[in-house]
Every structure is written in C-alpha cells, then in structure tokens.
C-alpha cells in the first residue's frame, strides 16, 4: 500500500478523527522507550490532551503537523515548530517524530524527515534543530541525512526507571 505524507489540517472533523490514532501512536512510542517528553505508562487522557494542544498550535500557525498514512492507517508523524522569537524567525524545531512499530525499518523515518525539511524550506526557514537520545536509531538517521551534531548534554531527561539519560542536539542549514 502506498505511503502518503501530508499535513494534518485542523478542521474540527479531521482533528477529532486523527486524535485517537495520534494518541495511540504516542502511547506506543513512550511504551517502547522513546524520549519524547513523557514517561511510561502514558495515560490515554494525557496523550489526547497533548494532541489537542498540538492542534491548537497548528491553528495558531506555530507549528505544522505532518501525518504518514498507509491507506487510512496513521503510521507516523512529525512536527515543524516555528520559533516565536523575532530574532529566530528563520529557524524551526523538528519535534515528536514518531513511527509505529509495525512501520519501522521501511524508510518512513527518512521520508518524514525529508518532508519536514521540504516543509520548512517552503515556509522560508533556513535552519532546523532537533534533539535525540545517543545511540538510538534517530541519531544514525539524522547523521545519514546531513544533520550536524552540535553537542551532547548528560542527564538531560529522565527515563521510566528513575534514571537520567543524555540528549544530542543536531542542526541542519537549509
């Protein structure tokens, strides 16, 4: 089945229809150990509340939400978050790139990354930044696609077991 990556609009009907799938995707990622700001177990109401907030950011123009679909099945997502500060209007953050376990190892992460970069270019952005956990698949993906490592911060985020782990910041001029 062909993969389609497209912006998710914030029409009430589409947003309401997408939130359950987005919430399930986020819950799956957190349960699998993804460092995306939440600790396991992630309650459904917290995941839904997060995505409602994202939709509000889309409405305000602060962010773009891209969804990857196989037919009607949402299998991945990524966000482009624009900086609100006047001296940073040229840059954006790549955030919450999630790929369903059933769709991993098929190039979807690379496709989402390319699409969010194209979206940023079309919006006139000239610099993107993101962070990821050292040693995870994201680190290799970003390096393969021309992202530059800016540095590593130890103890940056907590894990579900009460420990802390580092994060690596990457940037990419467009």
Task: Please write the tens of the pLDDT for every residue from 75-89.
Answer: 999 999 999 999 999
Residue keyed to tokens 């194209």: 118
Note whether 116 and 80 are within 8 A (CB).
Answer: yes
Q: Over the Cα atoms of the chain, what is R_g?
A: 16
Would you say residue 10 has pLDDT above 80? no
Reading the block at residue 26, the tokens are: 């986020």
User: What kind of architecture, by CATH, is found in domain 3-126?
Assistant: 3-Layer(aba) Sandwich (3.40)
Note whether 105 and 117 are within 8 A (CB).
Answer: no
What's the rounded Cα separation, in Å, for the pair 114 and 150? 20
Bridge partners (DSSP) of residue 172 are 128
Reading the block at residue 90, the tokens are: 């040229």
- Mean pLDDT, residues 39-50 taken together: 97
pLDDT of residue 12: 61
Would you say residue 149 has pLDDT above 80? yes
Note whether 85 and 138 are within 8 A (CB).
Answer: no
- Mean pLDDT, residues 11-38 taken together: 90
Closest CA to 22 of 56, 63, 65, 59: 65
């Amino acid at each position: 089945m062909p993969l389609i990556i497209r912006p998710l609009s914030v029409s009430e009907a589409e947003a309401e229809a997408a939130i359950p799938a987005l919430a399930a995707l986020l819950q799956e990622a957190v349960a699998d150990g993804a460092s995306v700001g939440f600790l396991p177990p992630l309650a459904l109401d917290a995941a839904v509340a997060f995505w409602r907030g994202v939709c509000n950011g889309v409405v305000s123009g602060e962010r773009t939400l891209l969804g990857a679909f196989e037919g009607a099945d949402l299998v991945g997502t990524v966000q482009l978050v624009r900086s609100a500060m006047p001296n940073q209007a040229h840059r954006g953050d790549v955030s919450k790139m999630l790929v369903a376990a059933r769709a991993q190892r098929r190039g979807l992460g690379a496709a989402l990354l390319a699409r969010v970069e194209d979206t940023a270019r079309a919006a006139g952005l000239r610099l993107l930044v993101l962070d990821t956990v050292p040693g995870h698949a994201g680190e290799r993906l970003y390096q393969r696609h021309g992202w530059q490592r800016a540095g590593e911060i130890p103890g940056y985020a907590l894990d579900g077991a009460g420990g802390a782990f580092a994060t690596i910041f990457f940037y990419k001029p467009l």
